Amino acid sequence: MKPWLSFFIFTFCTMAVLEARSKVVGDSKQTQTPERGGDTASKSVKISSVGTPASNNGHGATDGVVKFGDDKSSGMGINKMASYLQRHRRLDRWGNVTCGVCVFVVTEIRDMIRRATAVQTIVQEVIKFCVNFKIEDEHVCKLIVPQFQEEVLYVVDNLLLSPDEACGIILGDACATPYFPGEMWNVTLPDTPKPIPRPPTPPKPGAPTLRFLQLTDLHLDFQYAVGSPVPCGEPLCCRVDDNITRTSTLTSHAQPGKAGKYGDYQNCDVPIDMLIALFSHLSSIQDQFDYIIMTGDIPAHDVWSQSRTQQVYHLTALDKLFDQYLPNKPVYACVGNHETSPINAFPPPGIPGQDMGWLYGALAESWGKWLPSSAMDTVFRCGVYSMSPYPGLRIVSINNNYCNNGNWWLLLNSTDPCDVLQWLIEELQSAEVKGEKVHILMHIPPGDPNCLKYWSFNFYNIVNRYENTVVNQFYGHSHQDWYTMFYDNLTFQRPVAFGFVSPSVTTYSLNNPIYRIYTLDGDYANSSWAVLDYSNFYLNLTEANLSDKPQWQFEYSPKKAYNMTGLYAKDWDDLLKRMEADDDLFQQFYLHNKNMYPRTPCHGNCKTELLCDIIEGRSYDPDLCSKHINVT
């Protein structure tokens, strides 16, 4: 057994809970151990041989696509990267945990492991640490540590990190530089030359259109309790066992009160009453959309007390709502990081004793009613699929939990897990040959710092190569409303693509629930299949709870609100530049970005951070933002 079990248990008990609280990763209470295999409490930890990390796979790049070993941004300075991480709140998330404290704790428990200390003893020590350093209350600490025990033990058995490297992963490069196995790798692009980029052509007046609905990040909480106290002092409130009002981390934004029937703005997820009200409303307007996309995250944020059975139950419950209220509307979905148990845990194929069949099988059953049988193999294998709902349009659903740095299985080998990116290239090449246009569904925006750097860089290269084919991308995860840009990867000035980041249905945290309906260039010969506009609709939660009459209101459409001539990549790039210069326009965007929940105006670093989020279509590239705006 390796000398850093302490790191993993410590990381899991802190990261999973704090990510749920901070909503950086995107993300019914029970006391039993999750359904994750046999009892390991009595087993001892022993030192064993070190696993061999992955190396560069030697794959090159073509057609002007940058190979990462030659990418100038790969030589980033430590100070520049520290600034990048600080801007993305990577260092702020850990509160009382400093570099010195982290290294001390990891070293102390490492010594326990070397003495072959029983796992249960180590777990109890980590629980004490969690409580004593006020990472969470005792209730959460006691449940979150055992959640990850099986994952921790296996990964630790096959990899070795020093305490400094471990704390570098937890606290970022400004604390220490971590070692990531398989960091340098490139997928193989085809030898077929990249076609000359063709700017999109707006449809002629009167051309046919389609409309579709996007829902994302529902986070349904079956333990939601109307009248329960808020705030409660835990990462998730408004629940049946929140009997004592504790000190909340959100006291600057909210006052103690009681959970309303349709939700609460504080750390609370979606009650079933609100979700039923939403689906009843959608049923009444179903003539306004032709199909539905769902971009992940169905279960609530109680990540310390979830099981596989509970996760599948949430998926089944959502299926029943679709069947009851929207039975004739096709639903095309992708998988979120909260769908699994423990959170973020998506082991790639080939790890002994690890089988994602429990989840992928449930997804196949849910998604299969709208997918061709030919798509089922990849759903069962990796949680991905490709299908064509209309001639000329292809939907590709990607499981990018294989880029999620909270998925600790990737520390064993992060080189294109499950070959998802290589599969994506094959699907896009096939679409290019057939003249199809592609919509990509993904949960995590690829420029999010929670997406591993080289997965993100490879995806950026793929989008560049197939810029004539990939016309739109749809994400969730952040719970807020924005978009992300892709530029040519030679000058990083020419906009080649963008992705919609849609706001959430959940109110977690400080959000009004929102759904979105897109207008799409429709089903006719030579259609661009590009999104032409969209409309957001929101629920004013305060009014709904006071009146007991939830009313979904029109929020905005970007063409009118932002005076856009179209919704192509060049138009979103133009909006970015106008927002930098026009603060009134930016503040309007910021209100929608925050889901119509009132905030103080966003200036200075706040404005820079949001504009950089838009620019950074690939993660861990601190030079990218400064190529477009003045970053001070």
Binding residues for Zn(2+): 217, 219, 297, 337, 443, 477, 479
CB 519 within 8 A of CB 532: yes
Binding residues: 217, 219, 297, 337, 443, 477, 479
Amino acid at 444: I
Q: Which of 585, 571, 568, 579 has the alpha carbon at shortest distance from 611?
A: 579
**What is the three-class DSSP state of 472?**
strand
SS percent in the chain: helix, strand, coil, step 5: 40, 15, 50
Distance, in Å, from the CA atom of 436 to the CA atom of 413, rounded to the nearest integer, reads: 33
Close Cβ partners of 66 (under 8 Å, ≥ 6 residues apart): 461, 489, 490
Task: Find tokens 């294109």 and name the residue.
Answer: 416
d(CA 613, CA 51): 36
Give the 3-state secondary structure of 503-569. CCCCCCCCCCCEEEEEEEECCCCCCCCCEEEEEEEEECHHHHHHHCCCCEEEEECHHHHCCCCCCCH
Within 10 angstroms of residue 617's Cβ, the number of other Cβ atoms is 28
Contact 256, 268 (CB under 8 A): no
Of 520, 556, 480, residue with least CA distance to 293: 520
| Alpha carbon distance, N-terminus to C-terminus of the chain | 46
Q: Check if the beta carbon of residue 29 is closer than 8 Å to that of residue 223.
A: yes
Report how far residue 296's alpha carbon sits from residue 335's, in angstroms, rounded to the nearest whole number.
5
Query: Alpha-carbon distance 117 to 104, whole Å?
Result: 18
